[in-house]
Amino acid sequence: MIIVLEPGITDAEYNHVLEVIEGMGFQVHVSKGVRRTIVGVIGEEDRLRIQPLSAIRGVERVIPVLTPFKLASREFQEEDSVIECGGVKIGGKNVAVIAGPCAVENREMLLEVARRVKKAGASMLRGGAYKPRTSPYSFRGLGKEGLEYLREAGDELNMPVVTEVMDARQVEEVEKYADVLQVGARNMQNFNLLDEVGQRGKPVLLKRGMSASVKELVMSAEYILSNGNARVILCERGIKTFEDSTRNTLDLSAVPNVRQISHLPVIVDPSHATGRAGLVPAMSLAAVAAGASGVMVEVHPSPERALSDGEQSITPDVFDGMMQQLRTIVAAMERELQSGRPGNQEDGG
Amino acid sequence: MIIVLEPGITDAEYNHVLEVIEGMGFQVHVSKGVRRTIVGVIGEEDRLRIQPLSAIRGVERVIPVLTPFKLASREFQEEDSVIECGGVKIGGKNVAVIAGPCAVENREMLLEVARRVKKAGASMLRGGAYKPRTSPYSFRGLGKEGLEYLREAGDELNMPVVTEVMDARQVEEVEKYADVLQVGARNMQNFNLLDEVGQRGKPVLLKRGMSASVKELVMSAEYILSNGNARVILCERGIKTFEDSTRNTLDLSAVPNVRQISHLPVIVDPSHATGRAGLVPAMSLAAVAAGASGVMVEVHPSPERALSDGEQSITPDVFDGMMQQLRTIVAAMERELQSGRPGNQEDGG
Amino acid sequence: MIIVLEPGITDAEYNHVLEVIEGMGFQVHVSKGVRRTIVGVIGEEDRLRIQPLSAIRGVERVIPVLTPFKLASREFQEEDSVIECGGVKIGGKNVAVIAGPCAVENREMLLEVARRVKKAGASMLRGGAYKPRTSPYSFRGLGKEGLEYLREAGDELNMPVVTEVMDARQVEEVEKYADVLQVGARNMQNFNLLDEVGQRGKPVLLKRGMSASVKELVMSAEYILSNGNARVILCERGIKTFEDSTRNTLDLSAVPNVRQISHLPVIVDPSHATGRAGLVPAMSLAAVAAGASGVMVEVHPSPERALSDGEQSITPDVFDGMMQQLRTIVAAMERELQSGRPGNQEDGG
Amino acid sequence: MIIVLEPGITDAEYNHVLEVIEGMGFQVHVSKGVRRTIVGVIGEEDRLRIQPLSAIRGVERVIPVLTPFKLASREFQEEDSVIECGGVKIGGKNVAVIAGPCAVENREMLLEVARRVKKAGASMLRGGAYKPRTSPYSFRGLGKEGLEYLREAGDELNMPVVTEVMDARQVEEVEKYADVLQVGARNMQNFNLLDEVGQRGKPVLLKRGMSASVKELVMSAEYILSNGNARVILCERGIKTFEDSTRNTLDLSAVPNVRQISHLPVIVDPSHATGRAGLVPAMSLAAVAAGASGVMVEVHPSPERALSDGEQSITPDVFDGMMQQLRTIVAAMERELQSGRPGNQEDGG
């Protein structure tokens, strides 16, 4: 921690600053420059970080030296984490494709989409049973019924299932059906929910909040890790900016950026990031080229009838074409597409 | 709802668009221009809004005509809502000042601050018992003990108490102690929490999310109103922008902006918006001049020892000076400072 | 300047970092912490700042200690600058109101607006002769003819005139007619233009760029000051954010923020900031309450016929009402409204 | 153009709205809904767009139907523009790599970098002779001397040269030396400069402003096209957002986004977008995967000694490795790397 003192600091104020810091058991290292005096503080920065040192009179600025996260940091663990999710590996050399409808609308539709995306090469199935909606008058998901359909489709096709949990009260129920618990963008800083999923054993897919910096994303992962659950997958899904021709702005540089500071895998959701089906294939390819551990895309057999996010869902046919291109990019990057476990139907065939 | 069709739309696509819309029971009104054909759709826009019309082939753009909220809109209720909070009125001509520490740290400190701000003219007491913190290693509040101290201070000084509820599971407990339930910025789109506070009777102070537009803020209020609770106070507290010399960017134009579209009162929190104690008084005055129904500020007897947000807390002395200036601005605006009920101590005096 | 070294730095890299810095004639001050080594560099920071120290292998981060501007800083000059503009003072206790049409459209309209705003209490006249327009097909101003009308109106009413100069080639011409040269938001980092107006004697009204931080704004002022022209007035006029119900987001906290770091006066332009006439009066009052040295507003006798920015122009009648309220706020703040010099007509009257 | 009327509009106001529009020679098409009346206006939208219709009393909102640009639109020209720049093609199937130092610092360094990037597969040479710098105390380029070195290096290696022109006054000089004139991000809305380069014959590389939307970028291209110069290459180089761990946020979805609305080629500058050398290779690959017509990267033999932007410059060795990966991505995308013309030295070899 570095403390920059104000130019006009009095002796009394100066002594007080040093007393406060030394009183907490830290060593100080004072460096007097031409226009400013700087105090280097040596010791456990975490303990210091939570002190409001910048509120002390005579302190101009406090500059942390270390990142505020530990367990999630690349310094703590040098090699990539590879998270096993119901048989599918996320992280390292692997590239996983997670696909499915935005919301589970009914059993037939879900099975239809699941079969198509499985056939095209998706390794995991996504679908919302509980849906966060900005309007109270919108479709908010089938709830438990949706979870049952997801489990059935996952079992039939031997695909692990990822679905969102919106509230700490839902965790117990959702983890009975899902292989991976998704924490949505709006809940990235719902700290009670982070605690709750951190105390369970299932892998967590943690989406970046719309106004969260890369560091805040990793910091939210730290919540989960510090609760004992090390199986966290990060997901870049676009941030809020002034650009209004896309739903959000996909910050694809977050992929190599996160990879430098954390060992956790990071995937990309181009559907929510762009909000436009026509941009999803291009951004999926770009995500893999940027080094992402996978992509998560919304696929709907008839987007114009979708109960949620139809404008950003691609059709199974478009998904087929995208997967063909994706395979060539994966190969060019010398990485491996996680094709997923063989489906149970195929097992019996 | 207006639907703009693509220039190259085929006859089959065109007919399909019309069939879909008419099939839902809406009337259409087609207007062929030189370069585009436009379809005006007449009927209940809410029902239409949730359809993914832009996913229909041949549709270039879908433009809603109405705001997506109803109960919260100025159209629904023309006159200002005035929300009674334990004897203090928020809205209309009234200006309320809510003050107190960021977090309740202990009983003595809370009482000390409460007495000082009451004396200076604050009408309500704020303080966090459950604290959202970006780091799992920070102080996260005293919980139930903090609620008890808040109630005690509120009772002693005859000040209504506002405190944050972070999770749907906490609502039942918090409402036993608090006069107003605060939903924090990070929870503005925690829809389960909105449902929960909407089904209770206590007034709700709803803070704008860091990446929420003014319309999304009012939309979240609509969640609460549509659940039956009409006592909602909105709070502008800064949005995330590129400007990094303040914690957030206070969007003060949100005050007259919200007032044009909604009847709900809107107050301003300059402490979280700026993150800098030195900017809080100026922005409090500006908030009232802009037409806000009040301000909420963090006051701490010794900011350098605060367990949370010390750098943005002002001292009781600074608060005294600010209140003096605020009174002259309130008078200049021909509004009335809610001085709050007389304190119980004073009653007996 | 503080240099944070990477945790795994080798001895050779470490020695190289020190050699580079000492080779430039600086003293170093090394502080070895538990997890990081920090190098404090003592000497002229300006000379150091322009070195790409963060590109040296083994350097994790470089942290400047001082602000990058000098002449514009509060440290360089403690008391407020008061800029005289053709007889009107901007800065210190004074509050100046600059009003007029967005673009000068014709002689009659300009004179009509000028007379009205003068009568209501405006001290300076604004109007665009050269207009930056996002579309090449829009009205781009009357050019020299517009400058002549401005001068005529200014002379008749004894109001100093402020108008925009868009290009270094125009400076010579514009300064013949104008009392204050405006550098627009889109040109805040047109460094050649800054050099040019810095080498002339007329006061400069420098508007904040839509994506410029407060520090970058002051840094652009430094360009002008370092060229020898100390008469710079800063103007907050809104920044680009995700909020789309206003044209830009007025960052009103920039007012006290700038005042802490710079001695230059700062005024506010609520017309361009909000883009909505209905929000202009409230934000003008708020600007003065926040401590601004003035406001600049667009007034048009018939906004629906304006050739530029009609939607954000207020009518003379609205301006009259706003000025009444503004006077009470100015009085409440114990400041002084610069009523401007008496008009020449009145002189003769 | 669609005009939404306010719910409480009076008959007189309603009639006035229609008179104004019909008075300009447009046809109207009125559609009365349950809660709003909508007026469709038929005719040349460009002529209508510049009218401040939203300032008419009773008008709630004005919604343009068409994009504000014409010549640059995909509707105007369906097939991709391919711009020839001194023998190198940009657009269509081609992928061009433009590389070189941020600033031309001296003759030897420039030749060294040029030889290395040419050998690795770059097809064009970049380098700044006139440098926009946020601080007046920074190195601002060699000027004419830099242009001479660029031309010499371009001639020796048979590489077309792209360099920035900062001011309308510089255009005549710069076009004597450069094959492509670059308009920098800060000048994207320097309309006088756009006019000037639009009236010349050389291709223009137009960089997106830091706060410019995709539509505003294309609109600035329209300025150049409407002046008669159709050879415009767009460049995504990052936008300003709250994320502060990168210099800007690379909006890579702008690539497919622009390609949908415009026929002009779009390239990507990951150096300025990220500001971090370590992120440049990954984002270059991603750019090509997203469909960009090329990338422009800063290469410096010794970034730690660079006079400008050292922290974002990659070394020639890193560039070599990046080019190898880029070739496999280009092949996977079935596109063609513009290897450039053979160098003159090699001709003689």
CATH classification at residue A28? 3.30.70.1140
Instruction: Give yes or no for B301 touching A (CB within 8 A).
Output: no
Q: Domain check: are B163 and B53 in the same one?
A: no
- Number of structural domains (chain D) is 2
Q: What is the mean pLDDT of residues D299-325?
A: 92
Does the beta-carbon distance from D290 to A291 stay under 8 Å?
no
Tokens describing residue D159: 């590489």
CATH number at residue B90: 3.20.20.70
Find the helix or strand (DSSP H, E) in which B289 lies: helix B280-289
Residue B233 pairs in a beta bridge with: B205
Report the 10 Å Cβ neighbour count for B156: 15
- CA dist B144 and B166 (Å) reads 13
Do A214 and A314 fall within a single domain?
yes
Chain C, residues 6-25, CB within 8 A of chain A, namely 7
Q: What is the pLDDT of residue C67?
A: 81
Q: Among partner residues B215, B246, B289, which is closest to C289 by beta-carbon distance? A: B289
At residue B341, the pLDDT reads: 63
pLDDT of residue D47: 72
**What is the structure's pLDDT at A194?**
97
Of B242, B244, B328, the CB nearest to C332: B328
Convert chain C into a string of H (helix), E (strand) and C (coil).
Answer: CEEEECCCCCHHHHHHHHHHHHHCCCEEEEEECCCCEEEEEECCHHHHHCCCHHHCCCEEEEECCCCCCCCCECCCCCCCCCEEECCEEECCCEEEEEEECCECCCHHHHHHHHHHHHHHCCCEEECECCCCCCCCCCCCCCCHHHHHHHHHHHHHHCCCEEEECCCHHHHHHHHHHCCEEEECHHHCCCHHHHHHHHCCCCCEEEECCCCCCHHHHHHHHHHHHHCCCCCEEEEECCECCCCCCCCCECECCHHHHHHHHECCCEEECHHHHHCCHHHHHHHHHHHHHCCCCEEEEEECCCHHHCCCCHHHCECHHHHHHHHHHHHHHHHHCCCEECCCCCCHHHHHC
Inspect the interface and report whether the beta carbons of C31 and A36 lie closer than 8 Å: no
Highest mean pLDDT, choosing among B53-62, B142-151, C29-38: B142-151
The mean per-residue pLDDT over the stretch D302-315 comes to 87
- In chain A, % of residues over pLDDT 70: 97
What is the enclosing helix (H) or strand (E) of B100? strand B94-100
Residues C159-174: tens digit of each pLDDT: 999 999 999 999 999 9
Q: How far apart are CA B310 and CA B276, in angstroms?
A: 9
C63/A2 CB distance under 8 A = yes
Secondary structure (H, E, C), A277-336: HHHHHHHHHHHHHCCCCEEEEEECCCHHHCCCCHHHCECHHHHHHHHHHHHHHHHHCCCE
CA distance D13 to chain A (A): 32
Instruction: Give the model's pLDDT for residue C349.
Output: 33
Specify if D122 maps to a domain.
yes
Q: What share of chain B in percent tops pLDDT 90?
A: 72
Assign residue A334 a region (left: φ > 0; alpha: ψ between -120 and 50; beta: otherwise).
left
| Nearest CB neighbour to D135, from listed C139, C140, C219 | C219
CA distance B300 to chain C (A): 22
Of residues A49 and B324, the one with the higher pLDDT is B324
Say whether both A29 and A88 belong to one domain.
no
Q: Are residues D55 and D149 in the same domain?
A: no
The helix/strand/coil state of A262 is: strand
Confidence category of residue C343, pLDDT binned at 50, 70, 90: low
**Cβ contact, residue pair A31, C44, below 8 Å:** no
Tens-digit pLDDT profile for residues B187-214: 999 999 999 999 998 999 999 999 999 9
Q: Which of A156-170, B226-240, D231-245, D305-319 has the lowest mean pLDDT?
A: D305-319
Record: contact C283-B242, CB cut-off 8 A: no
Q: Which of D63, D94, D115 is the C-terminal boundary of a domain?
A: D63
Domain assignment of residue C69, yes or no: no
Q: Is residue B344 pLDDT above 70, yes or no? A: no
Q: Which pLDDT belongs to residue B66? A: 81
- Give this prediction's pTM: 0.94
Please check the confidence at residue A347 and state whether its pLDDT lies above 60. Answer: no
Give tens-digit pLDDT for C19-32. Answer: 988 888 888 888 88
The answer on B142 and B13 residing in a single domain is no
The CB density around residue D187, as the number of other CB atoms within 10 Å, is 28
Alpha-carbon distance D60 to nearest alpha carbon in chain B (angstroms):
10
d(CA C264, CA C259): 7
CB-closest option in A214, A241, A329 to D329: A329
Average pLDDT over residues B216-221: 97
Tokens of C323: 């000025």
- Judged by a CB distance cut-off of 8 A, whether residue D187 touches chain C is yes
* Percent of chain D residues past pLDDT 70, beyond the cut: 97
Residue B76 placed within a domain: no
User: Per the domain annotation, does D68 fall within a domain?
Assistant: no
Rounded to an integer, what distance in angstroms lies between the CA atom of residue B236 and that of residue B250? 7
pLDDT tens-digit map of B152-185: 999 999 999 999 999 999 999 999 999 999 999 9
DSSP D43-57: S-HHHHHTS-GGGST
Q: Which of B38, B61, B215 has the most D C-beta neighbours within 10 Å, making it the best mutation to test the interface with D?
A: B38
Find chain D residues with C-beta within 8 A of A285's C-beta. Answer: 289-290, 333
pLDDT number for residue C342: 67
- In this structure, the answer to whether residues C303 and C207 fall within a common structural domain is yes
Say yes or no to pLDDT of D270 above 90: yes
Task: Calculate the alpha carbon distances from C177 to C155, C198, C296, C339 in Å.
Answer: 10, 17, 19, 22
Cβ–Cβ pairs < 8 A, chains C and D? 137
A288 near D CB under 8 A: yes
Say if A72 falls within a structural domain.
no
Which position has the token pair 């003050």? B99
- 3-state class (DSSP) for residue A116: helix
State the angle between helix axes of B280-289 and C254-261 in degrees (0 to 180), rounded to the nearest 10: 150
Residue B47 has pLDDT above 80, yes or no: no
Q: Are residues B40 and B101 in the same domain?
A: no
DSSP character at residue A63: E
C43/A34 touch (CB, cutoff 8 Å), yes or no? yes
Return mean pLDDT, chain A.
92
If asked whether residues A157 and A248 sit together in one domain, one would say yes
- In a domain? residue D163: yes
How far is D80 from chain A, CA to nearest CA, in Å?
A: 17
- pLDDT single digits (tens) D77-135: 999 999 999 999 999 999 999 999 999 999 999 999 999 999 999 999 999 999 888 88
Q: Report the pLDDT value the prediction gives residue D341, as an integer from 0 to 100.
A: 63
In this complex, do D7 and B75 lie within 8 Å of one another by their Cβ atoms?
yes
Minimal-distance CA residue of chain D relative to A273: D253
Task: Let me know if residue A78 belongs to a domain.
Answer: no
Neighbouring chains of B at 3+ CB pairs under 8 Å are A, C, D
Q: How confident is the model at residue A91 (pLDDT cuts 50, 70, 90)?
A: very high
As a whole-number percent, the residues of chain B with pLDDT over 70 amount to 97
The fraction of chain A above a pLDDT of 90, given in percent, is: 72
- Domain check: are D335 and D200 in the same one? yes
Average pLDDT over residues B317-323: 98
Contact C40 A38 (CB under 8 A): yes
* CB of D185 less than 8 A from some CB of C: no
Rg of chain C, C-alpha, whole Å: 23
pLDDT at C189 over 80: yes
Lowest mean pLDDT among A146-150, A337-341, B55-59, B150-154: A337-341
pLDDT in tens, B267-308: 999 999 999 999 999 999 999 999 999 999 999 998 888 888
Mutate to test the interface with B, among D73, D242, D245 (most CBs of B within 10 A): D242
Residue A184 lies in a domain: yes
pLDDT in tens, B132-148: 888 888 888 999 999 99
C266-324 pLDDT tens trace: 999 999 999 999 999 999 999 999 999 999 999 999 888 888 888 899 999 999 999 99
- Checking if the pLDDT of A159 tops 90, the result is yes
Model pLDDT, residue D318 = 97
Residues in chain C, total: 349
Nearest to A72 by CA among A235, A251, A215, A237: A215
- Return the higher-pLDDT residue of D348 and C125: C125
Mean pLDDT of A244-249: 96
Confidence of residue C347 (pLDDT cuts 50, 70, 90): very low
Distance to chain A for C72, nearest Cα, Å: 16
Three-state secondary-structure class, residue A174: helix
Tell me the pLDDT tens digit for each residue of A18-31.
998 888 888 888 88
On whether both D29 and D129 belong to a single domain, the answer is: no
Nearest residue of A to residue D332 by CA position?
A328
D329 contacts A253? CB cut-off 8 A: no
- Boundaries of domain holding D112: 83-348
Residues in chain A: 349
For D29-74, write each residue's pLDDT tens digit. Answer: 888 877 888 888 887 777 777 677 888 888 888 888 888 889 999 9
Q: Mean pLDDT for chain C?
A: 92
D160 shares a domain with D45: no
Q: Chains contacting A with at least 3 CB pairs below 8 Å?
A: B, C, D
Q: How far does B34 lie from chain D, in Å, by closest CA?
A: 7
Least confident range of A54-58, C185-189, C219-223, C256-260: A54-58
Q: Are residues B89 and B36 in the same domain?
A: no
Q: Is A136 on the interface with B (CB under 8 A)?
A: yes
Q: Name which of C139, C186, C223 is nearest D50 (Cβ-Cβ).
A: C139
